[in-house]
Amino acid sequence: MPVFPEEPEIHESLPGPGVPFPRESDAQALHAPATGGAPATAPTTVTAAPAPVPGPRPAPPRPAQPRVDRSGSPRLIPKPGPAPRRPAAATPQVEVRRIAATPAQALERADDAVDQLLDSGRNPGNILVLTVGGAHPWQQHELSFGEERYWAQLAEGGDVFYADAALNRPVRREVVVLVVNGGSPTRAAETYTKALARATGLLVVCGEAGPAATGVSGAAPGRPVTA
């Protein structure tokens, strides 16, 4: 009979010193198939992305090329200039109304003109009466109470004020009535210019005064209206 060599016996190796004996549960866990849960994954290694390589710097903007018209010659674009200024509003012109009268009739014509202005609704404090010759009777009456009281009425501005045409106080009222009851034509022309400067809306001239009457050059212009 043939002789077969004996199979070597396999003995379980014992763990070395310091190595704990395997537990039965560990052995079962190694041989048992994984059921449920997330499968064990190998640790992943995160690789940092390479830093971007800076590209070339942008070139400075090129100046705009001049436009070329059809004829082929370059046409430069004009730079915008300052905005045009608007014309200033024209100053309203004072209306001039003339009443024909001799020096002897001028005071009476002026009183009638003042009455018509008050009847039309004008405020008495907006009317100034200036005389070229002698003082108006109402001026003489107010001065009889003293100059202080007389000038106080001018400051209050509540009534028609009567004064000499050579008034040197800065007074302006809506309506000025110039009474040419005497004086030379030269003085009448000068007082006309001053009276026109004191009026803001209407100048009533009772008598002969102003450039339309004397032809004096340099007098202030107005819009003559014959009444």
pLDDT tens column, 118-164: 999 999 999 999 999 999 999 999 999 999 999 999 999 899 999 99
CB burial of residue 140 (10 Å; 0-12, 13-18, 19+): exposed
| Residue-averaged pLDDT of the chain | 74
Domains, the chain, in order of start with CATH, read 95-226 (3.40.50.300)
3 state SS of 178: strand
pTM of the model: 0.56
How far, in Å, CA of 59 to CA of 31, rounded?
70
3 state SS of 36: coil
pLDDT tens profile 201-211? 999 999 998 76
User: Token digits for 200?
Assistant: 């803001």
Closest CA to 113 of 5, 218, 225: 225
Dihedral sign of CA atoms 188, 193, 194, 198 in order: positive
